[in-house]
Amino acid sequence: MPARPLSGLLVVDLTRHLPGPLTAHLLADLGARVVKVEEPREGDPVRRAPPAKGGLSALAGILLAGVESVALDLKSEPARGLLERLLERADVMLESFRPGTMKRLGLDPEELRERYPRLVVCSISGWGQEGPGSGRAGHDLTYQAVAGSLAATASMPAAPGADLQGAWAAVTAVLAALLARERSGRGERVDASLLDAALHGNLTAWAAEAQGPQPVGGALPLSGALPCYSLYPTRDGRWLAVAALEPGFWRTFCEAAGRPDLLADQYSDEPAARRRVAELVASRDAAAWQELAERHDLPVETVLSAAEALEHPQVMSRRVVRTAADGLPRVAFPARIGGLRPAAADEVPRLGQDTDRLVEELGARGSGRSRRERRRAGIGRRFSARRWLWRLISS
């Protein structure tokens, strides 16, 4: 059986896009019941993120598997009433609106905490809940830009680091708030900023710049400045990750490659030193370098595509990524607890599929209304011609 340490906890998720749904997904993987509240017509935009297969977004398959979907128009008083019924039972509420939006909807987080003292309210935002730029628009790329994360390479990042790190920061803070609640009996407000997460993720740069500021485009020790720690093209057009950071590894690498003359180039800042290492790597195919690395136990690996990574023996043995019955990937919790890995669920809920069941479960006033009347009151999914057309095209 998978580890489910958060079993019995109820999380209400009002978030959209990537960081918030990932936070909810991780809590669901750990065993929490997650009820995702979505806008009735289109739902979370992640449902429409390309590519799609059989009308289902691959990203939605990863982020939404294992949660319940409830369609509520939070501008509607009956829908807000149902949400508040749900919050009476909830342990955690996640929201990712711009600061001030929840208050305008009549759902001010501080007031909610007064009404539901044990509720942990986690607000995930780009710039944070306070500060001169807290209300500005932004995306992962802009948060990384301001955090300095892009400076060393001055190029597009390989992954949305602020979004991903922000989700993990939010999960960590939520778990800490839940632990604190066990001692105090009261929930806490969590202010999870993607900018803050990107700043924290850039900690090696702050250390590297202790001797003075570096310009944009100025490589740092762990971002390409060191000949012994960088990426190099191989003879057959692949790329090799050379991470021989310690002197012992670098000596073994140079001697195994028949180039002891490169020993002095390990930490050199001379362009010629890097060129000499690049010429060495370009003299052999990636497979030859991989064989040499494994034979001498060196931290040197061929750069793999995502598809190739799934075929790597170590990746396969860890069972983090798998393919579900719908042919789309699922990503499990990236740690084991007591030797067991929290498992990623298979089913991705249709938009609003759990609305009617939740209405009955909560015994909410008006639960005897017809389904059409509920929809008019902002409770439940409404028909969207645009979404129907999108599903038809992507099938």
pLDDT for position 373: 67
Please list the helix, strand and coil fractions of the chain in percent, rounded to the nearest 5, in that order.
45, 15, 45
pLDDT for position 213: 87
Domain ranges of the chain: 10-201+325-394, 222-314
Query: At the fourth CATH level, which superfamily is domain 222-314?
Result: formyl-coa transferase, domain 3 (3.30.1540.10)
pLDDT for position 363: 84
pLDDT for position 68: 97
pLDDT for position 214: 84
pLDDT for position 390: 43
What contacts 147, CB < 8 A, 6 or more positions away?
162, 195, 198, 199, 201, 202
User: Please, what's the b/e burial string for 102-132 (b: 16 or more CB within 10 A of its CB; e: otherwise)?
Assistant: beeeebebeebbeebeebbbbbbbbbbbeee
What contacts 253, CB < 8 A, 6 or more positions away?
228, 242, 244, 296, 298, 300
pLDDT for position 388: 42
Q: Which CATH architecture group holds 10-201+325-394?
A: 3-Layer(aba) Sandwich (3.40)
Check: pTM over 0.75? Answer yes or no.
yes
pLDDT for position 212: 85
pLDDT for position 322: 92
The parts of the chain modelled with pLDDT lower than 50 are: 366-368, 385, 387-395
